[in-house]
Amino acid sequence: MASQTAFDLLDHVSGYPHVVPGLFEGLDGTLGLGVVVLDALLGVVPLAWSGFALAPWRGVTLMLITDDIFQAFLQCETKAHLKLSGAAGDQRGFPTWERNRVEAYKRQYYLHVRADCREDECLVGVALPQDLSHSLWRLVIDCRVQTQALQSHIHILERCTSAGQTQHHPYIPVRLIPREKITPQDKLVLAFDALVLSAATGQAPPFGKIIYGSAYAVAQVKLEAWIPSAQAVLGKITAQQASRTPPPLVLNKHCAECEFQAHCRQRALEKDDLSLLSGMTAKEMKKQHSKGIFSVTQLSYT
Ligand code: SF4
């Protein structure tokens, strides 16, 4: 579906809220809307991004999807949903410690890398400059890249000497991770950075980098291997954002580190939810749900 067609369809159906559910139910409910919006978003026609953030649908104004939201979704769909709703959890201890750790690591690395850079080769703490492609900056540090729908605070944009005369963006995104090991999630967030950069500029970076650990190890990441998965995640976030139904609550291993821990545990207790049982996986829960079993009490009778 052409990107403009997708937006036309969205514009059209937003005036007929009673029609919309039936229209998209055939496409698996809200996921159908996600597919349409995502097609509009990722037709890789940068202009197609315009208007999305303000598009009302069933009374919903879609918020910017940020790297923070994207990362939250990878940890837990409920967490992303709560953040998109503007909620703030009250268990701030671990998230604050983690954020401070990342910020300290970034500051240290910035000092390290700037020691090898002339003042006029390095731009710090800016929104993406419009004429970046023609600039000679070696590094753009702590750069905010934004379209009407997406935003990412890219840790570093580094001029790529090998991009040459190709269609690729002359800068690559770099993520800084203090941990000694990187995960597939880190690569997905880097792919999100690349998606936002290409949506903002119309040019995709050829690859990205993750700098990690105390020795500043470097992992070069082929983005084409991760972009489809990042797009799929973005589609799910978009569908979730457009839906009035929150995702099913599933307590999980990230809960212990999450700011919404008390909120979700209380909700789970009220529902006598199956995920209160330690060892209950999402797959097993789905299996029990398919049998009509939703609570610990119901399960105890089986
Ligand atoms: S407490 Fe658990 S279920 Fe709730 S948002 Fe956080 S990770 Fe998700």
pLDDT 10s digits, 221-230: 999 999 999 9
Higher pLDDT, 9 or 184: 184
Secondary-structure percent of the chain, ordered helix, strand, coil, rounded to 5: 50, 15, 35
Mean pLDDT of 11-37: 40
Task: Report the first-to-last Cα separation within the chain, whole angstroms.
Answer: 48
One domain, residues 110 and 183: yes
Strands (E), the chain: 56-57, 60-61, 65-66, 122-127, 139-146, 150-159, 171-177, 208-212, 217-221
41 closest CA partner among 225, 222, 191, 232:
232
* Domain span at 283: 255-300
Residue count of the chain, please give it. Answer: 302
Query: Does the residue 236 lie in any domain?
Result: no
Ligand 1 centroid–CA 147 distance in Å is: 28
Query: Does the residue 38 lie in any domain?
Result: no
Residue 157's DSSP bridge partners are 140, 173
Higher pLDDT, 243 or 220: 220
Query: Does the residue 103 lie in any domain?
Result: yes
Atom of ligand 1 at shortest distance to CA of 81? Answer: 5
One domain, residues 222 and 101: yes
Query: Does the residue 170 lie in any domain?
Result: yes
Which residues does 169 contact at the CB level (< 8 Å), separation at least 6? 133, 160, 163, 197, 198, 201, 203, 204, 205, 206
Summarize pLDDT for 111-127 with one digit per residue, the tens. Answer: 999 999 998 899 999 99
Higher pLDDT, 180 or 134: 180
Q: 1, exposed or middle or buried, with CB in 10 Å at 0-12, 13-18, 19+?
A: exposed
One domain, residues 107 and 208: yes
One domain, residues 174 and 282: no
pLDDT at 285 (0 to 100): 87
Summarize pLDDT for 4-15 with one digit per residue, the tens. Answer: 334 344 444 333
Q: Name the residue with the closest Cα to ligand 1, atom 1.
A: 261
One domain, residues 170 and 271: no
d(CA 276, CA 253): 12
For 221, other C-beta atoms within 10 Å of its C-beta total 22
Mean pLDDT of 198-227: 95
Number of domains the chain is built from: 2
Last residue of a domain, one of 227, 245, 277: 227
Residue 195, pLDDT above cutoff 90: yes
Ligand 1 centroid–CA 199 distance in Å is: 30
Query: Does the residue 149 lie in any domain?
Result: yes
Cα dist from 267 to 263, 275, 279, 285, whole Å: 6, 11, 19, 16
Residue 208, pLDDT above cutoff 60: yes
10 closest CA partner among 134, 149, 104:
149
Atom of ligand 1 at shortest distance to CA of 260? Answer: 1
d(CA 236, CA 34): 6
Atom of ligand 1 at shortest distance to CA of 252? Answer: 2
One domain, residues 156 and 276: no
Looking at this protein, which amino acid is placed at residue 194?
A
Query: Does the residue 259 lie in any domain?
Result: yes
Residue 128, pLDDT above cutoff 60: yes
| Joined tokens for residue 30 | 């809200």
Residue 143, pLDDT above cutoff 80: yes
Query: Does the residue 135 lie in any domain?
Result: yes
Residue 292, pLDDT above cutoff 80: yes
Ligand 1 centroid–CA 257 distance in Å is: 9
What lines the ligand 1 site, CB under 6 Å? 76, 78-79, 82, 249, 251-252, 254-255, 258, 260-261, 264
Positive or negative torsion for Cα 197, 41, 236, 79: positive
Atom of ligand 1 at shortest distance to CA of 75? Answer: 7
Q: Which of 240, 254, 275 for mutating ligand 1's site (highest number of atoms within 8 Å of CB)?
A: 254
pLDDT at 59 (0 to 100): 47
What's the pLDDT band for 169 if we cut at 50, 70, 90? Answer: confident
